[in-house]
Amino acid sequence: MTARQEWVPLFLSLAFIAVGADDFQCVDTAPSTAAGPVPHMPTVTKDSDSYQATVEVNILDKNYSYVIDEFLDYEGNRALMRVQKRGLQSSYIFSYDTDELFTISDNMCSVSNISDSQFGFVFGDGSQTTGDRRHVFGSGAVLRFAADKHDIYNGTGLVRGVPANVYSTCIDWQGVVGKARATYYFSQPNWNTSAPRQELPLRIEVEGLSSSSAFGRPTTAQTAQPRYFHHIYDFINYLPYIADDPSIFLTPPNVICKNRVVTKPFPQLGKFFSFRFEELDPLSGTIEHRRLWYDQEAKMVRIDYSFDPPGSAQYTNGITSIGDFNTGIEYTIDHIKGCSVAPQKAKDVGVNAKQKTLDGTQFFTVDITDPNTFFYMNQNYTYVGQRTVRNILCDVFIAAVSNFTVEGSQTTATFEYHFLASNWHDVPIDASDMVTGIYPVQLVINAPERYWTKVFNYFDFTDTRPLPSDFDVSSCFDNSQRVEIQLTFPGSIDANDWDNAELKSRVHYQLAESMHVNPVRVAGVRISRDYQNIFVKAWLLSTVNAAEFEKLSNQTVQKVGDASYTGIQSLSECADSCVNHQDFQCNGFLFCAKDNSCRLSKLGVVEGDITGGGLCDAYSRATSGPAISQPSLTEAFNTLTTAIQQKQVQVTLTDAQGFEPPPFIAITVQITSGALSKEKPMPNLPQKFFYRVESVLPSFTTVVMTYVWYDRPLQLFRVDTRYQSQFEVTTIHDFNTGVAYTINQVTKDCTVSSIGKDGYDAAKPSGTNGSHVDTLSLKNALDLLFIDGSYKYIGQSTERGIPCDVFEARKTDYQDRLSTSNQTNQITIFKYYFQTDNWKYYSAEATDVTKSQMVRLDIEDRTTHSFRTYSIFDFNDEHYAYSFYDTSVCFEADQRKSFAIVFKDQSFHPTLDDYSATFLNSALLEMSEQTLISPARFQGASVTYDDSSVYLLVTALGTPPPLALFYKLGAVAQNTSAHQEMALFVDDCAAACVQTKTFICYSFDFCNADSDNPSCILSGYRLSASTSPQGASNPTVSSLTCTRYIRSENVTAPRLSSDRIFQILTDVVYDGMFQVSISPPNVQVKLRTTMTWK
């Protein structure tokens, strides 16, 4: 007899077996009434048919004990026994509604009928019925509490220290010889118990003779005679009701009871849903949060998640993964790093993968998983009952899932689903209605063989169809891969309707249908209105056909295939050929780079005879369904245009009463940003120009207006601004001399310094890695404005009402001059907006129209997370007079020499009436050429006349401080063997270099500047930092104790003072060599001097 079987007859005896010896017998004796009424057992079991208690069973005749937790739910028609015996625990759950007994031990469950079970008598065999419903016995019948009033009061006793009233009776029962005696102990009325009432069972003691040899010891007479037994049953914490949670009557979590009666069907999910959920890993103590959207009709799945930082995952930031099962493409959007596009893999969320083999090659195709498979709901789930999860009442279903993969190995797992009970309601944020009954609240997956458990808690579950915007992949396409379109619908719309989600969804699907494109290629639908029209804007995205195909593992020999193309230069070109093939649905291809061929396949793997031509890369279409159309941007837009012309683009909005008024019909469509063409050259910039620029600096909460003049032929650059200054400041860089002038336009204070080789407008001197370096020069316009060959045309956009061509470049070497960080930024996006070439710009100071001018520049620094916008106005590509580069205020009176050149017997009229400015510029340029100095050193020029002559008035400026003529190159080692000049300060050393008569000095080293005896070493060369001064041997001091300065200007003679300039020009004029030529339209005039100084 097994341990499980052994206790059953013992429990039987609790109710109906007796106590005794060889001469044992039990005889009912009527109690005496002489002393008054005879007390009877309390009526607790009659007042409540339910109870729970812990029962200690002591089998005296067998020398052992065990414990039973008993629960009887009369109203629920069920019962439970938990038996602990010899270190083992077993549970017995009695479901009288279904006539089922669940026997559970070691997480194993067996199911039998109560009425046929050997345990059926414990709580009654269900012979009592309510209508057609089998029913459990009440507590009085179960505990055999002498309902016939034949009990005999035996006085008082003591049970576990509790005063008790004692009753006994003789009872008949099958298997007992004669009658057994049952003695009942109840707490006395004046003793308070754990229950709200006082008189409760404490003990039942049973003794008697049994004809069964299964229990009891033999009598002393003969071994064949009946056996004597003596059992004691102590009731601990007897409660006349069920105090524990009702879920105790359910089979335990993660326990499968095969062949149990199905009492409630498993819920079925619809084809749309979305929810948030958390994934708990009890073993590692981690919780990961997710959000998911599922649309079976659109064949789209999206999941938002992030990886645990300690992991070694490829992505570490927040991730949005969108699976498009129409094309088999997975869009993985890292919210920090950007987007990647690839064919869907078997492990991706929502993928139903099918393995295939063709021509010896294995590959798989994908399709969207149906909702039940998605949730592992295709198993044989059975209803367990109701439990609470997060204080939510749930219907519990359980199933065993075989071949479940855990950490790469397959095992059997239990899936236990908790669904919202049918009388509960959930109100999600994104749903239009309450959710009832089909809402999964929790899923617990347990794989005991792998010691693996996962808990999934679901929140905000809704079966409302996700919006198309929930599957927005526009961030995976840059501006060269999309266009923004705007449609116009005549009519008006209520203010409450024009921006609602339903209307946007209808517009989204209508646009996709009208253009014959996959809905995922439509994004960012926005709706606006005025009093007469409704305007719809949306992005139309390009194709990523190559991502529809999975590369097979090994290269293959070239085969004929079902169709072929030659002259294919790239993988994307071959993929386009496959997707757009008209004769059959192409499901795979070979791309053969060696001979630039592309061979297509109907089946997914190219078959046929070997053609030669080397190895090829094989690709197979990821999706198993029919391939969808993938028209280009141009084709899709043209299709939409045709549909609008035929009045086929219509949108209907249901009103509040559920009626559909006449539809809105689109009448026009236009491109507002981007371009259908992918290629367009970036406009070039002129060599001289002026513009105003408004700089918006969000990180500084500042807007700055700046004026810029640029003249590369004259090597002059000027900027006017008030940024970081109370007053307007003019900065003029004269690259003819390498000198920078900074002028406060209010105080007229001026600072003169070297431009320096690191100036933002200075071209880096060449030869810095050789023995010599060059003079400073002004950057060309393209370099100055960060324009190079890396820009790509990304389409058109309207800025300030001006249609613009937009170009974008990604740079990794941009250093932000306004940034406080010294790091070189890694990723900076430059986006230029140029006025389209069919528009004209009229600048206020120009004499001609400007085309293709700069309108705006955006700089997005993704390393420092900063953004700048520069709006450009009044762009003028004409030459500006030298007077715009006037530095006169920076020179004292003795450094300015004013003079006049007289053009005798020359007429002012009519030529100079219109062209005096041209005359002045030409005259100053002539002076610069005759003196070989910067034209900026001639200022204050004006022209006047009398009846006989024309007069040119001008002021020649002196020379800037000597040190301003040199830019600092860097630290070098001292050469003691080189020729040295005495100089206490670096300014003196610069002056010595400029004033030396023996050679033209182009650089100098100033050494030991902090000592009492610094040295000045001059050189007739522009030496690099690694080259010794002229005439010097190897350095005798290795430490870098000197600073090298390089002369900025390219001089061939000592510099000229204003007096010397006057002398040279005087000689030129007297020699008749000074003449000014101007060329107005259709006329050429030369003015010659006849007299010089006045």
Q: Which long-range contacts (CB under 8 A, 24 or more apart) does 281-285 make?
A: 281/453, 281/454, 282/453, 282/455, 283/451, 283/452, 283/453
- As a whole number, mean pLDDT of residues 981-986 equals 84
Residue 1034's pLDDT is what? 47
Helix (H, G, I), strand (E, B) or coil at 143: helix
Q: Mean of the pLDDT values across residues 1067-1090?
A: 66
Name the residue type at position 359: D
Give residue 9's pLDDT band: very low, low, confident or very high (50, 70, 90).
very low
CA-to-CA separations, 420 to 73, 461, 897, 945, 1019, in angstroms, rounded: 24, 11, 97, 100, 91
Nearest to 717 by CA among 703, 737, 701: 737
> Which residues are bridge partners to 793 per DSSP?
807
At residue 187 the predicted structure's pLDDT band, cuts being 50, 70 and 90, is very high
pLDDT tens digits for 757-790?
Answer: 888 888 877 654 445 677 788 998 888 888 888 8
Q: Which residues touch 378 (CB under 8 Å, ≥6 apart)?
A: 372
Q: Tell me which residue of 145, 107, 106, 139 sits closest to 122, measured CA to CA.
A: 139
pLDDT band at 16 (very low <50, low <70, confident <90, very high): very low
Checking if the pLDDT of 54 tops 70, the result is: yes
SS3 track for 400-434: EEEEEEECCEEEEEEEEEEEECCCCCECCCCCCCC
Tokens of 431: 């749903």
Angle at Cα 42 formed by Cα 37 and Cα 45, nearest 5°? 145
Find tokens 């930024």 and name the residue.
825
CB 543 within 8 A of CB 549: no
CB atoms within 10 A of CB 812: 10
Condensed to tens digits (0 to 9), the pLDDT of residues 114-149 reads: 877 776 666 755 555 554 445 555 555 556 554 455
* Cβ proximity of 125 and 114 under 8 Å: yes
Return the higher-pLDDT residue of 791 and 20: 791
Q: What's the token pair of residue 793?
A: 């045309």
Mean pLDDT value across residues 333-362: 74
* pTM attached to this predicted model: 0.61
Q: DSSP label at 677?
A: -
Percent above pLDDT 90 for the chain: 27
Between CA 556 and CA 363 the distance in angstroms is 14
DSSP at 628: P
Name the pLDDT band for 733 (thresholds 50, 70, 90): very high
pLDDT reading at 436 higher than 80? no
How many whole angstroms separate alpha carbon 890 and alpha carbon 798?
Answer: 44
DSSP string, 5-44: HHHHHHHHHHHH-----TT------PPP-TTSPPP---SH
At residue 978, the pLDDT reads 59
- Quick one: which H or E segment has residue 638? helix 633-645
C-beta neighbour count of 862 within 10 angstroms? 16
Task: List the single range of 127-136, 228-237, 393-402 with lowest mean pLDDT.
Answer: 127-136
Query: Omega before 910 cis (within 30°)?
Result: yes
Of residues 299 and 492, more confidence is placed in: 299
Q: What does the pLDDT read at residue 919?
A: 83
Note the pLDDT of residue 770.
45
Q: What's the half-sphere exposure (Cβ side, CA atoms, 13 Å) at 994?
A: 22
3-state secondary structure at position 519: helix
Distance from CA of residue 627 to its chain's centroid? 29
- On whether the CB atoms of residues 77 and 93 are closer than 8 A, the answer is no
| Tokens 């026997």 found at | 103
Contact status, residue 650 vs residue 664, Cβ threshold 8 Å: yes
pLDDT, residue 4, reads: 34
pLDDT band at 933 (very low <50, low <70, confident <90, very high): confident
According to DSSP, the residues that pair with 338 across neighbouring strands are 334
Token pair, residue 746, equals 């209010």
Measured over the CA atoms of residue 925, residue 930, residue 936 and residue 941, the dihedral's sign is: negative
Asked whether the predicted pLDDT for residue 648 surpasses 90, the reply is yes
pLDDT the model gives residue 691:
92
Of the listed ranges 517-531, 584-598, 868-882, 1020-1034, the one predicted with least confidence: 1020-1034
What integer pLDDT is reported at residue 1068 of this predicted model? 85
Query: From the CB of residue 40, how many other CB atoms can be counted at a distance below 10 Å?
Result: 15
59: tokens are 């089998």
**Beta 949-957 vs 980-982: how paired, if at all?**
unpaired
What does pLDDT average to over the chain? 81
- Predicted local distance difference test score (pLDDT) of residue 455: 96
Question: For residues 968 and 1045, is the Cβ–Cβ distance under 8 A?
Answer: yes
Whole-angstrom distance, CA of residue 814 vs CA of residue 823: 10
Q: What is the pLDDT of residue 1047?
A: 87
- pLDDT of 995: 85
Region class of 643: left (phi > 0), else alpha (psi between -120 and 50), else beta: alpha
Q: State the average pLDDT over residues 202-208.
A: 89
Distances (CA, A) of 623 to 138, 344, 354: 63, 8, 10
Span 259-315, pLDDT tens digits = 999 999 999 888 999 999 999 999 889 899 999 999 999 999 999 988 655 554 555
Question: Token pair for residue 279?
Answer: 């994934």
- For the chain, give the number of residues: 1094
Cβ neighbours of residue 662 under 8 Å, at least 6 residues apart? none
Q: Which letter does DSSP use for residue 202 in this model?
A: E
Tokens standing for 22? 């060889």
> Which residue, 512, 519, 527, is CA-closest to 643?
512
